[in-house]
Structure 1
Amino acid sequence: MMGPQTVSARRSHWNIPHHLKNKNFVGRDTFIADLNHHVHTAVSNRIFAIHGMAGIGKTQIVYEYIRTFKDQYDLIYWMSAEDETLALKDFIGLGEKLKLPIDPDQEQRSNLELVKNWLGANERWLLVFDNMDDPKLLQTFLPDEVRGNILLTSRNPNWMHAAEPIELGLLDPDYSALYLQQRSGVSDPAAALQLANLLGNLPLALEQAGAYIEATRCSLADYIEEYNKYKSKLLQLFQPYNYNFTVVKVTELALERIRDSKPDALCLLNAMSFLHPEDIPKDLFVQDDTDLELEHYPIRDSLTLNSYIYELRRFSIIHADQASLSMHRLIQEIVRAGLPESQQRETLRLVLRLLETSTSKCNETELEITASGERLVPHLVRATEHALQMDQFTDQAIDLMTFLGQYFTLTSNYEKAIHVYEETIDWVKKSLGEQYEGLIDPYSGLAFTYYRMAQYAKSESLYQQALQLISRSKASNEYATYNHYGLLLLKTNRFPEARTFFIQALRGSRKKFGKKSLQTVNINGNYAELLLRLDQNERGLEILNQNIKLLQDLYSDKHPSIATCHILLGQAYSNLHRFNEQEQHCRLALGMDEELFGREHPKVATDCNNLGLALINQEQYDEALAYFKRCYRIDRQYLDMDHPKIAVRLCNVGLAYNHKGKHRLAIKFYRKSLAINQKAFPDGSLEAATQLVNIGTAYQSLGKTTEAIEYLEQGLAMEKKFYKSDHSELAKSYLNLGFSYCMTRLPFYLDKAVTYFNKALRIYEKKLAPGHPLIKQAVECLLVAYELQKDFLNFTSTLTKYRSILN
């Protein structure tokens, strides 16, 4: 046998597919330059696998690389490697080109060895294996030592053991738009960019579109309209001159090969085609055997899932990373369009069930809903869009759209939430009737959205519609509606009604989930907040401490509901004037929520507000002001300027300034706050009452007694509309107003001062322990009034009665 020979003529370039020359080729210069750098700087590896989905331009890239850097090689040889027969034929053909003693009558192995020996003995050569999808096949052609370079193109990304894999991505959108305009001969940058996005920047699809537009003389806008109407049907037309197949055909061929090798893998692919193309969670697809609705579903463990992923990745039909999957939007269109209508509906039902199973794992906490939603929302949106388009509006679709509405509400995307809920309600009414039980959750969800937006009249109307449906049905989730309606009643100061609905919610939750469930604990927390508003602080403390113990048993020490309990405990201790404990719980809540939600979350804003109030109570005004300002800054990221929460934030900034002695500045903030609340609550509110009282106290500090009395009287009158006669907040207002009356030294006002001081004293004696500082304060105010009246008889008797607490 003859030894290795050299090429007789330098710069031999054989089998190069020059028909691939494309004058419109754009956007890949950087990739080609990087590829050349890889090829000539690799120390141990000389084999490079350029992989990517069909139609992404792998073959074109290698052709352009050869055109650019052909002078770096003495020999370039191109081979088709779709299957072993073609590859062997071309490889032995190289031996004939090299004038090696190839003998057709000898064993193929001998001829192969001749070519491999030549390659092992020579340098400065480049072999191209085009469309090689089987890494094992490559081993057939490798010499003992690879002294030249090998480029191969493949849909299969699994080359790590045999070559250096280099993934070719989609074309940059700007270059895609440029290509479309050059190829079609139509200049319209905006439409070109829009069309490039619709086609997912896939070069083969761009080529087909450009060819169609050129041939039909339509505009880019016309093509967009036709594509939106016909989708994948349009992509079957106009086979590119430099590619054997259309986008549809190459995809169908890949699906046929998958169907032959692992047909069950198509179950995964079909399901993915009804989801958003990017970041599809892998764990969405693994379902255990207990779900009877998925009896024939094949993916029951991660091992099966991974085997399907491997098969689909071999053809670059999908991409995968550690936690998620993705597929090109055009592949999705083609896969869906290739399914019979009955299979489309069956697949959509499967997808809706998979999504429902994932969302049902949330325990209704804001953290769990927002965390799950962040991963699932794009897929929920896409799947429910398909449900609407296919008129497949099932209970599962309703539940998923309701979950979407919850997510958008909790992330303060109120417009999106309203759109989702209203679309759901409209479709249910049209498809299933206005009395359908499935409307309860969308009505309640939309009502809660308006509650969060402080549009309480709209919220009330929607809750009433939900409650009417509950009264006619056997709904098992009425506890949630009762609970949220209770929050609305609490917010609008309808305390007796709120108590009724919280109790009903507790009964429903205990029946459905048990006394120690998260749902029951959260409703109990809302009931405790009501008790605090009713001045029943000890009972509220008891419930909140029980809640924390239960939650710690369920979730350890860090959970959003535990943070909420700490917020309410802080409020309870504030009511009891135990300010050190108030601050302690407020700091615990803030630290926990920052860790769970991040520093810019609305819950963190609420925590900052509560901590600021605790610091005010301890006369730490500068630090309090800093927390109030931080709270305001966070909330303005999510809320409009006329939201009642913003009114609270402005009021508390004013409170800090007032305590710092900047009374006129404080009044400016109080007035802004009052204006927002008067607009939101035309019939009055406790918040507006607080702001009236605050304005009055600021005027009091400025010595403007007439203005002080005016605002304090308005505030007290409004408080009396909402509080019982023995509420401790009324006692505070009685003291403030009585003090202003004393400042006038007028007999009429002094009589009123004595009356109000006595009322405050009676409330505090009823609510607080003997000797409490507030009782002492009320007594001292009363003594001042008696002294100003020169009523020494009452002065002496009062002094005698309370001498023990005055010393």
Structure 2
Amino acid sequence: MNVCYGDGVTQRGELGYVPRVWGKVPLRNRNFTGRERELELLKQSLVGQQTAVVPQALRGMGGVGKTQLAVEYAHRNKHRYDLVWWIPADQPSLIASTIAALSPELGLGDVNAQGVRETAAAVINALRRGEPYGNWLLIFDNAGEPRDLDEFIPADSGHVLITSRNPDWKTRVETVEVDVFDRAESIEFLNRRVRRQLGDAEASRLAERLGDLPLALEQAGALQAEAAMEIGEYLELLAQKPTEAMGLLAPPDYPQSMADAWLLSTQGLERALPEALELLKVCAFFGPEPIPVDIFRRGSVHDDSLLSRTLSDPVRRSMAIRMIGKFALATIEDRQIHVHRLVQSFLKDTIDPAEYDSYKHHVHQLLAGAAPTDPDQESRWPQFAELVPHVRPSELAACATPKVRQFAVNLVRYLISYGDTASARAFVDDFISAWEDKPLDGDPSLLIARNRLASILRVEEGYEAAYRLRAEALQQARNEFGPVHPVTLALQVALGTDLRGLGDFAGALAHDTEARRRHEEVFGTEHPRTWNIVHNQALDLVVNSRYPEAREQHRQIFELQSGATSGVSKIEVLTSWGGLARALRLCGDLDEARFLSEDAYDFGKEALGSEHLRTLQVGIDLSIALRRAGEHDEALSLIRQVHASHAARFPRDPQILSSANALANALRMVGEFDEAAQIMYLALTGYPLMYREGHPYALASAGNAAILHRLRGDVAEARRINETSLAGLREQLGFAHDYTLTVAVNLASDLSALGLLDEACELGQRCHTAYLTLFGPDDPATLVAGLNLARDLQATGRGDGGFDISLELLAGRRGADHPEIVDVRAGHRLNPDFDAPPI
């Protein structure tokens, strides 16, 4: 990321002031010439604005210098702004990522920790509000359709500048038309570029031959400067080029005179260093975004071609890149090669179409060779990010080389981990479509791609769609590769998560137990991949109400992962850390759970950012631990913040329902019943969409809503909801399950409130007996059920049911001043509630 920060020595508005944020703006062109009218029009239009943003567009054909004009405006007027940000806009799917990268500079958090589109929206909102900078400039370079930028242009403050070839911008924004140079500007430019005085007559002849097109003049000037070619000789060479041939070669969207200039430049480059032209031709098949020089260092081409020999020789490689820049066929800056899209188009037209596939394959090999191999490691994400813009333009999906396909599925994995699921979906759809038409025997890439797609479907279409696709892929993997192939095992691990998402908790546990056995056979017990499946098995134990066993497995995995020196990401460490804290809470160890959750939350904020999805999950668990510990105000404050971030960053993530549930529970504990009921209603409407109708989480969460109905006086409705939920949970999980018993205990409270004491006692006794068997006599859930039962027994005159003993034991677990103990002593019943653990 090319970001500079001002030193604050001068004040904004004074010459010499450096913006506090200066991001990705290209270097100033020392040969910039003329354009004073256009620059003045821009300044008047932009600087003259007071509040509302009226975007300005520079519109013109390719090669007229729109981008250079925008660069010059930014440099001349940077003293007027606190923030200037350059956004390549030619690939609409990547605009959000570039805007999201501004997030840390606005104090909104690390972009690696957030969903891309959600982060971009937060950036736009901050700019609109002028927080923290009210004087800013966004430059969208090479925009296509106006609709592509609709969601990315802030309203109410700041300045927006757009460059585009699309004439439709004239109907949408204030537009400055950029034409070719006038003749005086052409002559001035050529004299600057050639660095020697040309006669006006010969400079004018050259400019006329090139149509005064700035990009063509740049190439012609470079050729003369580097090759010391006289104007007359250059014009004679142009005249000797057959018009008919150039008519066939020249693309229809730029003048033939420019193609003439580029042809001579490429011929000069070939004479100077043939391998430089070969490298430039390969660049024509990358995307128009900057090509990192390191791609040619890290990547390789596996043949006996001139390109392969050039890349394998560091000296020849460096000379070739330098020579391309000298002939102005590309700009080399910040270790990046910028090849204009029109130069790319021209170069392709000089190549026999029969050779296209060979050049594209070279690009595919370079991308695959330059890519990191571990897309889950956050430190590698910037390297993946610089490769993304070149995948589609090079038609990488069509490549049938296993190593290239492995890079493709790793790229999708990176995008998912990074939070850009929209781009991940678009790419994986391309890959699957192409690979289904060209399957490779013995190559698992297609199955890996389907596995990636299934993970995306969890968010986009729900767990049922993910399960169907993944189960089919798993069966195919078993048939083709056997039960212990890495791709088979990866699919098996992911399918366990789908089963939990479908509510088949027992099936998930059986499935993951078998997957663990397979992993231990293949990788052993000390391998990170085995640790991941053991972690998943611990999640299964949680949703099957086997909390002590889950606690021990989470403890084991947390200790192993946190002590590992390699092979484990920070995300995995944080996930196991949070899992252990959650299991401790579920076992009733509230103090230890709280302290561990606080440590995990601090680690997540530092390592991944406060709004990373995994950090938010730990924040949910911390808020629950605080609430269980009786710190109701602190719990509510935290979960409000976490839920707001979750809703803003990841509105389609299933765990947003968990944060909504936790927020409603926290609101109930401070007496905010109406707001709690509103939040709970929204959560209940989300469960069928993200999970399925009648999912255990939905039924247990409905029990939380029933508590609110009873507390607000509608006991009959509370009873109806709890009876419905209890029936569904008993059918799916059985009676002796924590979620089922939680609803049943609250149903007993409904019956008691309705005066049906015998029924309340009968149900309460069954709940207490089941809890004794499930968790033992000293578990808080058992004690709560016992206290409520004792109340009902006292009301019927059947004795105290061990009330004092249960209260003393619960006070020992909670503390004598805990709000629950205070409530019980005041004569109130306790209302156990449900908090959904992550799937």
Give yes or no for TM over 0.5: yes
**Hey, what does 2:346 align to over in structure 1?**
334
- Gap change, CA 1:543 and 1:800, over 3 Å in 2: closer
* Structure 1 residue 429 corresponds to structure 2 residue 429: no
Q: CA deviation at 1:574?
A: 1.6
Q: Is the 8 A contact 1:731 1:759 kept in 2?
A: no
* Structure 1 residue 27 corresponds to structure 2 residue 44: no
1:439 to 443, 446, 450: 446
Q: Distance in 2 between matches of 1:570 and 1:515?
A: 23
The 5 Å alignment of 1:679-694 reads 679-694=689-704
Q: Distance in 2 between matches of 1:291 and 1:544?
A: 46
The 5 Å alignment of 1:668-747 reads 668-747=678-757
Q: CA deviation at 1:568?
A: 0.8
Q: Is the 8 A contact 1:547 1:565 kept in 2?
A: yes
**Hey, what does 1:529 align to over in structure 2?**
539
Q: CA deviation at 1:172?
A: 9.6
**Hey, what does 1:37 align to over in structure 2?**
none
Q: Is the 8 A contact 1:728 1:767 kept in 2?
A: no
Deviations 1:200-231 (A, max 9, x none): xx9999856999xxxxxxxxxxxxxxxxx988
Q: CA deviation at 1:698?
A: 1.8
Q: Distance in 2 between matches of 1:187 and 1:579?
A: 60
The 5 Å alignment of 1:14-163 reads 27=35
2:285 aligned counterpart, secondary structure: coil
Q: Distance in 1 between matches of 2:426 and 2:169?
A: 37
Deviations 1:1-50 (A, max 9, x none): xxxxxxxxxxxxxxxxxxxxxxxx96256999xxxxxxxxxxxxxxxxxx
* Structure 1 residue 238 corresponds to structure 2 residue 248: no
Deviations 1:549-587 (A, max 9, x none): 333322499811111111111211121122222223333
Q: Is the 8 A contact 1:286 1:301 kept in 2?
A: no
- Gap change, CA 1:638 and 1:761, over 3 Å in 2: closer
Amino acid at match of 1:617: R
The 5 Å alignment of 1:358-437 reads 358-362=370-374, 364-365=375-376, 367=378, 370-383=381-394, 385=395, 387=396, 392-432=399-439
The 5 Å alignment of 1:456-535 reads 456-474=463-481, 476-503=486-513, 505-506=515-516, 515-535=525-545
Amino acid at match of 1:521: W
Q: Distance in 2 between matches of 1:678 and 1:583?
A: 32
Q: Is the 8 A contact 1:281 1:324 kept in 2?
A: yes
* Structure 1 residue 554 corresponds to structure 2 residue 568: no
Q: Distance in 2 between matches of 1:372 and 1:234?
A: 36
The 5 Å alignment of 1:145-294 reads 207=212, 232-234=250-252, 238-239=256-257, 246-259=260-273, 263-266=274-277, 268-287=279-298
Q: CA deviation at 1:248?
A: 2.6
1:790 aligned counterpart, secondary structure: coil
506-515 or 544-553: bigger deviation: 506-515
Q: CA deviation at 1:688?
A: 1.1
Q: Is the 8 A contact 1:615 1:624 kept in 2?
A: yes
**Hey, what does 1:576 align to over in structure 2?**
587
Consecutive unaligned residues of structure 2, counting only runs of 5 or more, are 1-32, 41-61, 70-138, 144-160, 180-185, 190-206, 217-246, 813-839
- Gap change, CA 1:618 and 1:232, over 3 Å in 2: farther
Q: Is the 8 A contact 1:534 1:727 kept in 2?
A: yes
Q: Distance in 2 between matches of 1:405 and 1:319?
A: 30
Deviations 1:653-674 (A, max 9, x none): 2111100112232122212211
Deviations 1:114-163 (A, max 9, x none): xxxxxxxxxxxxxxxxxxxxxxxxxxxxxxxxxxxxxxxxxxxxxxxxxx
**Hey, what does 1:544 align to over in structure 2?**
554
Amino acid at match of 1:284: I
1:477 aligned counterpart, secondary structure: helix
> Could you state the TM-score of these two structures normalised by the residue count of structure 2?
0.62
1:319 to 290, 312, 331: 331
- Gap change, CA 1:557 and 1:267, over 3 Å in 2: same
- Gap change, CA 1:715 and 1:301, over 3 Å in 2: farther
1:354 to 355, 363, 366: 366
Q: Is the 8 A contact 1:514 1:520 kept in 2?
A: yes
Q: Is the 8 A contact 2:703 2:725 kept in 1?
A: yes
Q: Is the 8 A contact 1:735 1:778 kept in 2?
A: yes
Aligned Cα root-mean-square deviation (Å): 4.7
2:386 aligned counterpart, secondary structure: helix
Amino acid at match of 1:525: H
Q: Distance in 2 between matches of 1:369 and 1:452?
A: 24
Deviations 1:279-316 (A, max 9, x none): 43333322489989999554358666544433333333
Amino acid at match of 2:664: G
Q: Distance in 1 between matches of 2:285 and 2:399?
A: 13
- Gap change, CA 1:758 and 1:580, over 3 Å in 2: closer
Q: CA deviation at 1:616?
A: 1.4
Q: Distance in 1 between matches of 2:37 and 2:530?
A: 62
Q: Distance in 2 between matches of 1:565 and 1:648?
A: 18
Q: Distance in 2 between matches of 1:396 and 1:803?
A: 65
Q: Distance in 2 between matches of 1:289 and 1:257?
A: 25
Q: Is the 8 A contact 2:516 2:530 kept in 1?
A: yes
Q: Distance in 1 between matches of 2:284 and 2:313?
A: 21
Q: Is the 8 A contact 2:571 2:614 kept in 1?
A: no
Q: Distance in 2 between matches of 1:701 and 1:536?
A: 31
Q: Is the 8 A contact 1:563 1:593 kept in 2?
A: yes
Deviations 1:313-361 (A, max 9, x none): 3333333344533322223333344344565433322322232234452
1:320 aligned counterpart, secondary structure: strand
2:393 aligned counterpart, secondary structure: helix
Q: For this pair of structures, how many residues does the alignment match?
A: 610
Q: Distance in 2 between matches of 1:633 and 1:346?
A: 51
Q: Distance in 1 between matches of 2:803 and 2:64?
A: 94
- Gap change, CA 1:415 and 1:695, over 3 Å in 2: same
Consecutive unaligned residues of structure 1, counting only runs of 5 or more, are 1-24, 33-53, 62-168, 212-228
Q: Distance in 1 between matches of 2:140 and 2:64?
A: 6
**Hey, what does 2:614 align to over in structure 1?**
603
**Hey, what does 2:458 align to over in structure 1?**
451
Q: CA deviation at 1:447?
A: 1.3
* Structure 1 residue 759 corresponds to structure 2 residue 769: yes
Q: Distance in 2 between matches of 1:508 and 1:540?
A: 20
2:628 to 617, 634, 639: 617
**Rg larger in structure:** 1
Identical aligned pairs, as a percentage?
17
- Gap change, CA 1:425 and 1:762, over 3 Å in 2: same
- Gap change, CA 1:773 and 1:189, over 3 Å in 2: closer
* Structure showing greater relative contact order (alpha-carbon pairs closer than 8 Å, 6 or more residues apart): 2
Q: Is the 8 A contact 2:447 2:477 kept in 1?
A: yes
443-452 or 343-352: bigger deviation: 343-352
Q: CA deviation at 1:700?
A: 3.0
Q: CA deviation at 1:804?
A: 8.7
Q: Distance in 1 between matches of 2:249 and 2:539?
A: 55
1:316 aligned counterpart, secondary structure: coil
Q: CA deviation at 1:194?
A: 13
Q: Distance in 2 between matches of 1:231 and 1:464?
A: 51
1:781 to 788, 802, 812: 788
Deviations 1:367-399 (A, max 9, x none): 36754432221122333x3x46xx544445544
419-428 or 479-488: bigger deviation: 419-428
- Gap change, CA 1:311 and 1:329, over 3 Å in 2: same
- Gap change, CA 1:322 and 1:617, over 3 Å in 2: same
- Gap change, CA 1:56 and 1:314, over 3 Å in 2: farther
Deviations 1:208-260 (A, max 9, x none): 6999xxxxxxxxxxxxxxxxx988544785327xxxx734324313431442x
